[in-house]
Amino acid sequence: MDARPNDLAAFWMPFTANRQFKAAPRLLVAAEGMHYTSHDGRQVLDGTAGLCCVNAGHAHPSIVDAIQKQAKQLDFAPTFQMGHPLAFELANAATAIAPPSLNRIFYTNSGSEAVDTALKMALAYHRARGEGARTRLIGRARGYHGVGFGGISVGGIAGNRKAFGTMLGGVDHLSHTHAPEHQAFTRGQPEWGAHLADELEKLVALHDASTIAAVIVEPLAGSTGVLVPPKGYLEKLRAICSKHGILLIFDEVITGFGRLGTAFGVDAFGVTPDLMTVAKGITNGAVPMGAVYSSQAVHDAIVDAGPEGAIEFAHGYTYSGHPLACAAGLATLQVYRDESLFENAARMAKPLEDAAHALKGLPNVIDVRNYGLVGAVELAPRDGKVGARAYEVFVRCYEAGVLTRQTGDTIAISPPLIINEQQIGQLFDTLASAIKVTK
Ligand SMILES: Cc1ncc(COP(=O)(O)O)c(C=O)c1O
């Protein structure tokens, strides 16, 4: 199998232990459906939908076709003071599957950009309404909101910001909701933890609501090891935000587009934010795209505030609403609908839950968590070497033909929504075997 280029030095790889990887590289050279092909010619079952983005499976013919046709028809068109029809069509199709109150959409190219855009919208919204003192942004420990300066500031992963100096001022954090002593081996939403949302009242008392613009959380935190929201927690956050005029932002970059067996986390948990960030599954990962869904109230406050003829929101990206991304997005939404993939995700949630929890009792397994088509198996860390044990398990799984994702000492599973029961079996059997032989 061709694995050019075989000099790996020049590519400075993202979120990768570069020296470790380049000493023993893992290269993927093709993909179809549920499988990657590795450079040494093996079929590898994709247990992570790439990076939680390939929800409809790899190289879906109608998505491939749409991108190819679009590249010929209209390769690029600006969306600054110009437009092209697909950008509007996708906006209509994407808002049609969202909660009715989130009926406006702004395009970005990634989840990180969507987060920074949503934070800017929150600031602009308050300013447009004459509440410009509302500049404080509140995130949550163990939150991941991408890598922009806004996203790492509200994010709660210390390692992601310790090298970069001063971040946004005026940021505070809620505690995360993960408490293994109360929640270990919970199936679905933990009973314990709703009260942690009351911390927001404490932050309001400390800073005063008149200084707080927005709260941002992932409804289900993915990148820091699959933290499922306790029952009642999101509802409380919503109520406290509404009470104090604070905007609630859900970062649905992972949970959007079927991952939880519903279109969005909003639908799974029955709580609707004012702004919602998405990316990944909007185009099935085939062309980079992100977006912010906005309530009409936020949109109108900003768009109706300025004088006629003035640009109301001085923000956007050269590639906002790129034609190839729009074509991929439209085809992707069609595939989700035609093939009932969100429904399949909901059907496969229980088999995934059972397969994941069957790993309880294996050596070093200290927790199993799941919701929808997301599962996590947490291992006890080795003394002084956080992540080392899980990394070995991840490599063993890959060598045995299954791609998982390691985050800290957690192995996270988030397969394409097309997965079947037999593949779920293969995935967790392989994981179990790898855990058993890892000291
Ligand atoms: C919740 C969340 N927000 C934002 C991001 C950043 O997205 P991107 O890598 O497309 O910038 C991610 C990526 O995994 C994510 O999980």
The residue from 321, 338, 355 where one domain ends is: 338
Residue 373 has pLDDT above 60, yes or no: yes
**Average pLDDT of the chain, as a whole number:** 96
Instruction: Tell me whether residue 4 is in a domain.
Output: no
Instruction: Tell me whether residue 118 is in a domain.
Output: yes
Q: Quick one: pLDDT at residue 408?
A: 94
Instruction: Tell me whether residue 87 is in a domain.
Output: yes
Within 10 angstroms of residue 307's Cβ, the number of other Cβ atoms is 6
The residue from 320, 338, 356 where one domain ends is: 338
165-190 residues labelled b (16+ CB within 10 A) or e (exposed): eeebeebbbbebbbeeeebebbeebb
CATH number at residue 125: 3.40.640.10
CB 82 within 8 A of CB 265: no
Q: Quick one: pLDDT at residue 30?
A: 98
Q: What is the mean pLDDT of residues 57-75?
A: 98
Structure tokens at 13: 């790889």
Q: Are residues 160 and 256 in the same domain?
A: yes
> What domain count does the chain have?
2
Q: Where are the beta strands (DSSP E) in 295-380?
A: 365-371, 374-379
Give the Å distance between the CA of 308 and the centre of ligand 1. Answer: 35
Give the Å distance between the CA of 204 and the centre of ligand 1. Answer: 27
Ligand 1, residues 55, 153, 223, 277: which to mutate, most atoms within 8 A of Cβ? 223
| pLDDT class of 4 with cuts at 50, 70, 90 | low
Ligand 1, residues 119, 227, 253: which to mutate, most atoms within 8 A of Cβ? 253
Q: Are residues 414 and 402 in the same domain?
A: yes
Q: Quick one: pLDDT at residue 71?
A: 98
Instruction: Tell me whether residue 12 is in a domain.
Output: no
Q: Quick one: pLDDT at residue 3?
A: 59
- The per-residue pLDDT for range 208-261, each reduced to its tens digit, is 999 999 999 999 999 999 999 999 999 999 999 999 999 999 999 999 999 999
Give the Å distance between the CA of 290 and the centre of ligand 1. Answer: 9
Q: Quick one: pLDDT at residue 353?
A: 98
Distances (CA, A) of 89 to 106, 329, 333, 339: 13, 10, 11, 20
Give the structural domain span for 91: 65-338
397, 400, 403, 405 alpha-carbon torsion, rounded to 10°? 10
Looking from the CA of residue 280, the nearest atom of ligand 1 is 10
Instruction: Tell me whether residue 151 is in a domain.
Output: yes
Instruction: Tell me whether residue 8 is in a domain.
Output: no
Q: Are residues 266 and 362 in the same domain?
A: no
- The per-residue pLDDT for range 322-370, each reduced to its tens digit, is 999 999 999 999 999 999 999 999 999 999 999 999 999 999 999 999 9
Query: Out of 159-173, 199-213, 377-391, which region has the weakest mean confidence (pLDDT)?
Result: 159-173
Task: Enter the pTM of the model.
Answer: 0.97
Q: Helix or strand or coil: residue 338?
A: helix
Q: Are residues 147 and 29 in the same domain?
A: no
Distance CA 400, CA 45 (A): 10
- CB-based contacts of 370, cutoff 8 Å, min separation 6: 187, 188, 226, 228, 349, 352, 353, 356, 357, 376
Instruction: Tell me whether residue 3 is in a domain.
Output: no
Q: Are residues 327 and 372 in the same domain?
A: no
Show the ligand 1 pocket: residues with CB < 6 angstroms: 110-112, 115, 144-146, 218, 222-223, 251, 253-254, 279, 290
The residue from 282, 308, 338 where one domain ends is: 338
| pLDDT class of 40 with cuts at 50, 70, 90 | very high
Q: Are residues 126 and 252 in the same domain?
A: yes
Looking from the CA of residue 51, the nearest atom of ligand 1 is 14
For 201, counting Cβ atoms within 10 Å of its Cβ (0-12 exposed, 13-18 middle, 19+ buried), the class is: middle
Q: Are residues 319 and 374 in the same domain?
A: no
Within 10 angstroms of residue 57's Cβ, the number of other Cβ atoms is 23
CATH number at residue 49: 3.90.1150.10
What residues does 370 pair with on adjacent strands? 375
Residue 94 has pLDDT above 80, yes or no: yes
Percentage of the chain beyond pLDDT 70 is 99
Instruction: Tell me whether residue 262 is in a domain.
Output: yes
| pLDDT class of 167 with cuts at 50, 70, 90 | confident
Q: Are residues 260 and 387 in the same domain?
A: no
Strand order across the 247-251 sheet: 104-108, 290-294, 275-278, 247-251, 212-217, 136-140, 171-174
Give the Å distance between the CA of 282 and the centre of ligand 1. Answer: 13
Q: Are residues 83 and 30 in the same domain?
A: no
Question: Is the peptide bond prior to 78 cis by the omega test (within 30 degrees of 0)?
Answer: no
Q: Quick one: pLDDT at residue 168?
A: 84
| pLDDT class of 166 with cuts at 50, 70, 90 | low
Q: Are residues 22 and 128 in the same domain?
A: no
Residue 1 has pLDDT above 60, yes or no: no
Q: Are residues 395 and 246 in the same domain?
A: no
Q: Are residues 322 and 345 in the same domain?
A: no
Q: What is the mean pLDDT of residues 397-415?
A: 97
Give the Å distance between the CA of 256 and the centre of ligand 1. Answer: 11
Q: What is the DSSP track for 219-238?
A: SSB-TTT-BPPPTTHHHHHH
